[in-house]
Chains A and B, each alone.
Chain A
Amino acid sequence: MLQLYRTLEQLAARKKRQKEREALGDKAPPKPVPKTIENQRIYDETTVDPNDEEVAFDEATDEFSTYFNRETSPKILITTSDRPRGRTVRLCEQLAKVVPNSHVYYRRGLALKKIIPQCVARDFTDLLVINENRKVPNGLIVSHLPNGPTAHFKMSNARLAKELKRKGKDPTLHIPEVILNNFSTRLGHTIGRMFASLFPYSPQFVGRQVATFHNQRDYIFFRFHRYIFRNEKKVGLQELGPRFTLKLRSLQKGTFDSKYGEYEWVHKRHEMDTSRRKFHL
């Protein structure tokens, strides 16, 4: 793990400060708040204010509105890139258990642009493509189907369910709850809604399963847990299901079309990675 080593001077300074604080007793000035990257984050002008009407109006009329108005319920197609290896295949299977109403299909060298009209014809709402490189899954494309946005992520640290240190069982067929943390900007909101629309709208609390998408510094961590309330102040969590981290690479307006599509947001390393305190999600 990462550790912090303090130099001798820092240790001495710390002791001195502690002594002064004790000496002053009640009159000591309040402890200064330590600076974290989240504290020092450069203010993003597209941060969503919860009371913003414009944003609310946009969200009522965007491509996910049919889901949030409960007009459609999600049906998901999971597939991979060509010739998937064992890890990717198993990850697909586990994802299919985690996400309700999802189907896994082998790619067999088909072009995505030809798959998509077929999916639309068969009433699929979302397409998930797990890209693979060197026997390891490394990318994820989420495409919302009728004509919705396509997000391309870089996937890393994908762990299968059996590799986690757990003694839990398999995920059941109950609809899980969804937790979306820290999606604060407009872009983050869109991505958050995209993830939310993968899961059916009303979760079955009996199942006690929760899928979490937690955004921290532009990395989205996906976890799948089963929870149990021990009393009203303590929860126990048991991790089932796969886990992976995603980093958004591009968001494109229509369905998948890498050459002629209109890109809403593309990660440009030289422009966007210059500051360590600036995040986009």
Chain B
Amino acid sequence: MQHDDVLWDVIGNKQFCSYKVKTKTQNFCRNEYNITGLCNRSSCPLANSQYATVKEEKGQCFLYMKTIERAAFPSRLWERVKLSKNYEKALEQIDENLIYWPRFIRHKCKQRFTKITQYLIRIRKLTLKRQRKLVPLSKKVERRESRREEKALIAAQLDNAIEKELLERLKQGTYEDIYNFPIHAFDKALEQQDEESETDSSEEEDEDVGQVEYVEGDEIDESDLSDFEAMDKLEVDGEEEQEHSSIAEEQEKETSISKGKTPVKGLARKKRPFVEIEYEQETEPSAKASST
């Protein structure tokens, strides 16, 4: 004897069914053999002894049927038929197998089968296109990396680095003649001359070490000084960097006053490593040239 109605009264209608999912507007059935997915008197696989579904496994569709005769044998309860891959033929198969069954079940089986084939087609199409792979980010790692990036940014001192690189390129001459900084080339020429004069002077000093020399006193210093200043001023007017030369003059005066009888040339030479001022040195080689 089948007790469908009793079962439905117990399970579906008001009391508890473990497959039932209640929402505000509707009840769903989570039973895997349910044909529509809703919790209804006609859709409940437990409350209907004659029932059929279409299920899909790994791309293959099967028609499952349950009959009253096998109700006592749960292990053999569901009978399955493999459906053809051809859509129309499969529909005919369903009709064939479910002949004389209630209209509702036949209709719903075909509907379910249609939906399943449609989503299988979609799966096949999507696998051919590009798949988006989701890569999980670890918040800890992301935070660590952003912190390290900040510190690297500070350590990089980008502006300074870029400026240094550009100045180096300028010095190496990659920009050739675009930038006219005559003083720069002048610097180089002067440095070369200074190096030559340094080597010359060092040789001379070595030679002079043992010898006795008689040098005049203050007169020469003052006259030399005055000549020096005049020459400096004449040279300076034509150029831009008057500040440098004026500083040179002042320092020269101070040191000459403090040191007294030391020759001006020696002063200039001693000062060179500490004070890089062109015009002081400019006059010096010319003075040397005149003396030698």
* B-binding residues in A (CB < 8 A): 2, 36-38, 109, 111, 156-157, 177, 179, 181, 205-206, 210, 212, 214, 216-219, 221, 223, 225, 227, 229, 231-233, 235, 237, 245, 247, 269
Q: What's the tally of chain B residues with a CB closer than 8 Å to chain A? A: 32
Interface string of B176-190 (1 = CB under 8 A from A): 001101011001000
Q: How many A-B residue pairs have CB under 8 A?
A: 81
Interface string of B150-184 (1 = CB under 8 A from A): 11111110110111011101110001001101011
* B145 contacts across to A, CB distance below 8 A: 156, 247
* A36 contacts across to B, CB distance below 8 A: 155
Question: Which of B150, B152, B169, B181 is within 8 Å of A231, CB to CB?
Answer: B181
Known interface pairs A2-B154, A216-B156, A245-B149. Does A232 touch B181 (Cβ–Cβ under 8 Å)?
A: yes
* Complex-state Cα separation, A156 to B152, whole angstroms: 13
* Complex-state Cα separation, A233 to B183, whole angstroms: 11
* A206 contacts across to B, CB distance below 8 A: 178
* A-binding residues in B (CB < 8 A): 129-130, 141, 145-146, 148-156, 158-159, 161-163, 165-167, 169-171, 175, 178-179, 181, 183-184, 187
The 6 closest A-B pairs by CB, nearest first: A216-B156, A232-B184, A217-B152, A232-B181, A216-B152, A219-B152
Q: List 25 A-B contacts (CB under 8 A).
A: A2-B154, A109-B129, A156-B145, A156-B146, A210-B162, A212-B161, A212-B165, A214-B158, A214-B161, A216-B153, A216-B156, A219-B148, A219-B149, A219-B153, A225-B162, A229-B166, A232-B170, A232-B181, A233-B167, A237-B159, A237-B163, A245-B153, A247-B145, A247-B149, A269-B141
* B181 contacts across to A, CB distance below 8 A: 229, 231-232
* A156 contacts across to B, CB distance below 8 A: 145-146, 149
